[in-house]
Amino acid sequence: MIRAFVFRGLAFVGLWWILAEGRLDGWLLGGPAVVAATWASIKLSPAVPMPIRLAGVFGFLGFFFWNSILGGIQVAGMALRGRAALQPAMIELPVSLPSASARVLLINALGLMPGTLGVDMDDSSLRLHVLDERLPVIADARALELVIARLFGSGA
């Protein structure tokens, strides 16, 4: 509980610092706002231990940034070829991630990857809209699923 309070408090301090553009004269209002926001956050969403591995965080970030760059290049190529070269489709992707948090991260990360958008999610599958079904979307999603499983400590 104390760890969650400190972590969330620091997150709200950072948010206030960004909103105040780094100025110190707003902390008379910002200090109580940070405390109130942290308290409300703990009351509305109690701390739940998440087994996130630090090595998994670096693996996830590396995978995400590299694939974002490659995806950006792919989408730029598709844009240059024109709309007629695209084959949009809906893809049903079975997933094996055990926790809801991991599945939510998967669908959100896929939505941030160029050319892919998560449309629906349930306990065992994701529904994705893709710009071009000929791209290796399923293989990329499987690789991302493995990285997220490692992040949450449930993968190899």
For residue 22, give the amino acid letter.
G
Range with the lowest mean pLDDT among 30-34, 87-91, 109-113? 109-113
Average pLDDT over residues 126-142: 87
pLDDT at 156 over 60: no
The structure tokens listed for 1 are 């509980």
State how beta strands 125-130 and 89-94 pair: antiparallel
How does pLDDT run across 16-41, given as a tens digit for each residue? 888 888 888 888 888 999 999 999 98
Please state, in angstroms and as integers, the Cα–Cα distance from residue 49 to each residue in 1, 30, 64, 83, following that order. 9, 28, 24, 46
Q: Would you say 116 and 129 are in contact if contact means Cβ atoms under 8 Å apart?
A: yes
Q: Please give the model's pTM, rounded to 2 decimal places.
A: 0.65
What does the radius of gyration of the chain's CA atoms come to, in whole angstroms? 20
The pLDDT assigned to 13 comes to 92
Higher-confidence residue of 29 and 46: namely 29
150: number of Cβ within 10 Å: 18
Question: Given pLDDT bands bounded at 50, 70 and 90, which one contains residue 50?
Answer: low
Return the closest-CA partner of residue 106 out of 115, 114, 73, 96: 96
What gap in Å lies between CA 88 and CA 78, rounded to an integer? 11
For residue 78, give the amino acid letter.
M
